[in-house]
Structure 1
Amino acid sequence: MNFIRSLLHMLWMIITVIPWALLVVIVAPFASQKLVYKLCSGWLRHAVNSGQLILGIRNRVTGFENLPKGERDPAVLLVKHQSTWETFTMVAIMPHPLAFVFKKELLYIPFFGWAMGRLDMIHIDRSRRTEAFTRVVQQGRELLAKGVWVIMFPEGTRIPRGEKGRYQSGGARLAIECGAPVIPVAVTSAKCWPRKAFIKKPGIVDISIGPAIPSKGRKPTELMREAEEWIEAEMVRLDPEAYPSGQAKLYTKAKPE
């Protein structure tokens, strides 16, 4: 049954992404970024809704009270990355427009990448690290000033369930440069949508939004370490079956009070 569900969902995504992407590509040169984002976020919400209907995946979100309240209040979201699911979901649930920081190779994905290229996102060349970070800061500052929140996956890639990648300090550096708080987010999507897996399983994905961490006067490594400790401790709390007891003990102790 899960195979059939997964196949139907994949086919539905393919069928819907083509006309959506073509519409975005055609409309983008003549439309405002607000309208283009609305079109793109609409399809991503559709992706989440179809995942709920066809795959049986449900989101359980906590911590909305930790998000900045003002229309122009900035935020840098640092999100645990286990699957494609949170890429769709974060846009669907957040009260502000989001700008992802992602590698430029994603722009070449047929249809989906073409549409994403029409948005004010921050796409970087990872082979040119200094130039890439300068671009992130420059664009990030402009977007944050408009009330667009920047979202980054600090581990850089999708991480298997129960594992931890190497956290990069780029998100913390951006937050410090722009004077924005860091918002850590834990996501247990791999319970239902494992990394690089075709077959998905029904279930609940927990999305926990942590307390804002001020960036003023902080060092990037220190700020990122605090975000990392919160995220990983929260992952253990939300999905204890995925972590060995020793690792659970480590991150439970590391979690800030």
Structure 2
Amino acid sequence: MALVRRKKWLAGARSLIYLLLQAIITPPYALVTLACYPLSPHQRYRVTYGWTRLMLFLLWHVCGLHYRVIGRENIPSQPSIILSKHQSAWETLALQQIFPPQVWVLKKELLRIPFFGWGLAMTSPIAIDRSAGKAALEQIVEQGKERLKQNFWIVVFPEGTRVPPGSKRKYRIGGAWLAVHANTLLVPVAHNAGEFWGKNSFIKYPGTIVVSIGEPVNPAGMEPAELIQRMETWIESETARISNAESRNSD
């Protein structure tokens, strides 16, 4: 028990240092990002990605949080739609390092968060009103096709919010709907980030997060409901496999 308490105390101290450094770095970086508004979307993305790289660097060297990727060979050569498990704030950072330049489908309310939301707005996100029903799907398709033409990948978290390890929520159809209507490959992603940095958790535990990238799926001839079910089955089973494998390795 004493060892467990010591590990938790050390992880908490490291997490506090990370948070303080993030608080120091983010406001001035957000102002720099806002100054880049006249630049092209891809140029703005390169600037905002600099902040992401800094945060991942701090997570690695301050918190001891690493990651490894299974299935890099499954990343297509053309812009595609990424459908990812959402357990933590970590994957919102790491997916930017693993995949080519990307935009996210997200709640428009996130853009109102001071500094973070302002910088997020500079990345050309697909910001939707989730209460709009079918109109939200139309927004995703219209804006999604435009982003794909701009050579951006699109990240969708189908559960809509962060979900604790071992749990799941209903998968929303938006990512599959866009894949079918834009005739674009869909790439499933599973990971176990929530076991190290949980939802709304201050503490970030050291260790190695495993990210698994599945084979891309061509939506041709498929209905959105069929496609999202296929993605859900793979992502959930792969997430469970990763968690179980890592649990055995840590014993």
Provide, for residues 10-66 of structure 1, a one-character-per-residue CA deviation record: whole Å limited to 9, x for no partner: 1111111111100111221x2121211001111111111110111110011111111
What are the ranges of 5 or more consecutive residues in structure 1 without an aligned counterpart?
244-257
8 Å CA contact retained: 2:137, 2:177: no
- What is the rounded CA distance, in whole Å, between the counterparts of 2:245 and 2:108 in structure 1? 35
Partner of 1:236: 240
Is 1:74 the equivalent of 2:82? no
Partner of 1:35: 43
Scaled by the length of structure 1, the TM-score of the pair is: 0.90
Partner of 2:142: 138
- What is the rounded CA distance, in whole Å, between the counterparts of 1:203 and 1:191 in structure 2? 10
- What is the rounded CA distance, in whole Å, between the counterparts of 2:109 and 2:19 in structure 1? 22
Judging changes above 3 Å, is the alpha-carbon distance between structure 1 residues 24 and 76 closer, same or farther for their aligned structure 2 residues?
A: same
Residue type matched to 1:56 in 2?
Answer: G
Residue type matched to 1:122 in 2?
Answer: I
- What is the rounded CA distance, in whole Å, between the counterparts of 1:162 and 1:242 in structure 2? 14
8 Å CA contact retained: 1:161, 1:242: no
Partner of 1:85: 90
Which of 222, 227, 230 is residue 231 of structure 2 equivalent to? 227
- What is the rounded CA distance, in whole Å, between the counterparts of 1:47 and 1:93 in structure 2? 14
8 Å CA contact retained: 1:191, 1:203: no
Residue type matched to 1:50 in 2?
Answer: L
Structure 1 position 241, deviation (Å):
7.5
Structure 1 position 199, deviation (Å):
1.1
- Percent identity over the alignment? 39
RMSD: 1.4
Is 1:156 the equivalent of 2:160? yes
8 Å CA contact retained: 2:105, 2:127: yes
Is 1:212 the equivalent of 2:216? yes
Provide, for residues 202-244 of structure 1, a one-character-per-residue CA deviation record: whole Å limited to 9, x for no partner: 011111000011101101111111111111111111001799x
Residue type matched to 2:96 in 1?
Answer: V
The count of residues paired between Structure 1 and Structure 2 equals: 238
Is 1:22 the equivalent of 2:54? no
Scaled by the length of structure 2, the TM-score of the pair is: 0.92
Which of 173, 178, 181 is residue 177 of structure 2 equivalent to? 173
Is 1:10 the equivalent of 2:15? no
What are the ranges of 5 or more consecutive residues in structure 2 without an aligned counterpart?
1-9
8 Å CA contact retained: 1:162, 1:242: no
Is 1:56 the equivalent of 2:64? yes
- What is the rounded CA distance, in whole Å, between the counterparts of 2:203 and 2:73 in structure 1? 34
Structure 1 position 168, deviation (Å):
1.0
- What is the rounded CA distance, in whole Å, between the counterparts of 1:27 and 1:190 in structure 2? 33
